[in-house]
Amino acid sequence: MTIQHPHVDWFALSPSLAILAAAGALLLVAVLVPQRARKTAAAAGAGAGFVAAFVLAIVLAAKSPDATTAIADSIFRDRWAAVAQVLIAGCGAVAVLLSWGERWRTEHVAEYYALLAAAGAGMAFFVQASNLMTLFLGLEWFSISLYVLCAIDIDLVGSLEAGLKYLIIGAVGSATLLFGSALVYGTTGELGFDKIGAAGHNHDSLLVLGLAMVIAGLAFKASAAPFHMWTPDAYTGAPTPVTAFMASATKVAALVVTYRLLVTAFPGEEHLWTWAIAGIACASLAVGNIAALAQRNVKRLLAYSSISHAGFMLIAVAAANALGARALVYYLIPYSAMSLGAFGVVAARERELGVPVTLDNLAGFGWERPFLGVSMWAFMLGFLGFPLTGGFVGKFYVFAAAYEHGWWWLIVVGVVATIVSAAYYLAVVRAMYFRESAELQLAPAGGSPPRDLLLASGVGACLVVTIGSFFAVQPLIDVAQSAANALPL
């Protein structure tokens, strides 16, 4: 009996394999390398893996056709997935820079970088999924790594709680997605996204129920309301570099896959899922912005900000047009940079004070650390959507997609949400520059603040992308358009 083996396109898998190889090597580092050199070797290995994946994903994007599948039609090899892999690898590389100065036990530092690389590899694989099986495998691959990463610093107050909450609620989200996938498969008899779309079971009640559960499962990962309940606690309790990686890379993976899945597998139900996504977007904008107004802890404030921005990006998904696909890809570029950079600044302040960062103890930070203060100022204005930052063009692009779809009311909701968000984003700037530590009778940190060149380099790279994405609009739009051409829009 002859066993048929599918042809394996190794180049299509190269970004995932590069990071996965780094993760495997780092597990050996944890065992074989002496403890005094373990941190340096682990950080260098993880950084090398992400940089290699970044380069390979760029080459893959340049050499891939608009839309094709590989390895027995189980993964997509196209520019949509490749551009997402570029963003994920970039986020991982910056997360490595932010992690270097983190204070935790050295005996588990190699395992930390191995888990970070494993999560990145899972996300890179996840965005290529072309059927429901690889979709679930990729989701669990990176989710399990993130569960452990949230709880890896046992000396950090709230870390174990964050990991447990993320595990329980994430398991519910994964189970919901799996059950929905089973209903879709049971209705259509197909696993592939394109084959589900071509099966012709439109308006079938089980298919609609399965679609609703799949959307709910992916919304958990995108931290969109009302599936956001894990986000504030997990973001606050996890080590700050882990929070930075989750807030950026996880959002990229979840939203890119959501858009592809909906337009490819469920074109016949577009009249239903566009309204569902629009409703989730409005809920995210309302919950994220209103809840953020009451926050004093900066990490928790940024967690609700992340929920709000999930709403803005879901407006692009709800538009379900070519302009919406381009808007989503463009928005993710400055958003990822702003999230990584903002949490990087929070990490720097945490290391100075040794306590959680609040609006109170952020007072005077802009004068004490001018570069980090200016960077945080730029990130807050970028989140708000001010000109001279990529956030301005991203929001404008998203609103243009909604207008083309005919949903002017979504634009109104987005504009109102932006106005509300000004209160808490500008509160961060006010705390850094317009309130002195002496006013609050805070004890000074003592001496010169510790220097972390790698963290400053990561924040600087994020600042360049945040501002550069405003001035390099056309090249980035061309990249977004090339990626969007892979989708059946």
List the chain pLDDT tens, one digit each, 489 residues: 566 677 778 888 999 999 999 999 999 998 888 888 898 999 999 999 999 999 999 999 988 777 777 777 888 899 999 999 999 999 999 999 999 988 777 778 899 999 999 999 999 999 999 999 999 999 999 999 999 999 888 777 778 888 888 999 999 999 999 999 999 999 999 998 999 988 877 778 899 999 999 999 999 999 998 998 889 999 998 999 999 999 999 999 999 999 999 999 999 899 899 999 999 999 999 999 999 999 999 999 999 999 999 999 999 999 999 999 999 999 999 999 999 999 999 999 988 888 889 998 888 888 888 999 999 999 999 999 999 999 999 999 999 999 999 999 999 999 999 999 999 999 999 999 887 654 444 444 444 456 789 999 999 999 999 999 999 999 999 999 999 998 987
What range defines the domain where residue 87 resides?
Answer: 10-484
How far apart are alpha carbons 53 and 65 in whole angstroms?
19
Answer whether residue 1 is part of any domain.
no
Choose among 375, 376, 371: nearest CA to 359.
376
Please name the amino acid found at residue 417.
A
Answer whether residue 2 is part of any domain.
no
Answer whether residue 157 is part of any domain.
yes
Answer whether residue 5 is part of any domain.
no
Answer whether residue 101 is part of any domain.
yes
Contact predicate 455/101, CB 8 Å: yes
How far apart are alpha carbons 464 and 385 in whole angstroms?
16
Q: What is the pLDDT of residue 324?
A: 94
Answer whether residue 489 is part of any domain.
no
Would you give the end-to-end CA distance of the chain in angstroms? 43
The total domain count for the chain is 1
Which residues are CB-neighbours of 240 under 8 A, at least 6 positions away? 98, 102, 299, 343, 346, 347, 350
Answer whether residue 436 is part of any domain.
yes
Q: What is the pLDDT of residue 2?
A: 62
Answer whether residue 356 is part of any domain.
yes
In this predicted model, what pLDDT tens digit does every residue of 345-374 receive, in sequence order?
999 998 888 888 999 888 888 888 899 999
